[in-house]
């Protein structure tokens, strides 16, 4: 009787390990899919930059303008908070 209880415990333990393994694998596969999509978009974004050098300059100009606007908004927000 002690053997059957021990075997049942081992079986339950194995079942838990299998379920944990499946869950871990699903999480890893999901993360890999996310990374793959991210890498694909990075590659997609690089192609136009290499084929059209002016595009890089335009994007840099937009980024600079965005940062200046963001800075001004933060200053105005601080002024509003001080009032």
Is 3 a residue whose pLDDT tops 70? no
66: left (phi over 0), alpha (psi -120 to 50) or beta: alpha
Same domain, 7 and 42: yes
Residues 6+ apart with CB under 8 A from 59: 49
Q: What's the pLDDT score for residue 15?
A: 76
Per the structure, the complete domain to which residue 75 belongs is given by: 52-82
Same domain, 43 and 58: no
Is 71 a residue whose pLDDT tops 60? yes
Give the CA distances from residue 23 to residues 9, 10, 14, 19, 28, in Å, rounded to whole numbers and listed in that order: 21, 20, 14, 6, 9
Same domain, 58 and 75: yes
3-state SS, one letter per residue, for 58-77: HHHHHHHHHHHHHHHHHHHH
Same domain, 14 and 4: yes
Mean predicted confidence (pLDDT) in 12-19: 80
Same domain, 28 and 43: yes
Whether the predicted model's global pTM rises above the 0.75 cut: no
- pLDDT tens per residue, range 25-47: 999 999 999 999 999 888 887 77
Mean predicted confidence (pLDDT) in 48-72: 84
How far apart are alpha carbons 14 and 20 in whole angstroms? Answer: 10
What is the domain count for the chain?
2
Mean predicted confidence (pLDDT) in 55-63: 85
């Amino acid at each position: 009787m002690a053997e059957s209880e021990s075997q049942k415990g081992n079986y339950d333990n194995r079942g838990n390990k299998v379920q944990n393994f499946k869950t871990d694998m699903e999480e890893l596969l999901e993360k890999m899919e996310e990374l793959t999509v991210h890498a694909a978009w990075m590659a997609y974004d690089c192609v136009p930059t290499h084929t059209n050098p002016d595009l890089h300059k335009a994007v840099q100009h937009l980024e600079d303008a965005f940062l200046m606007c963001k800075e001004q908004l933060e200053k105005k927000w601080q002024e509003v908070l001080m009032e």
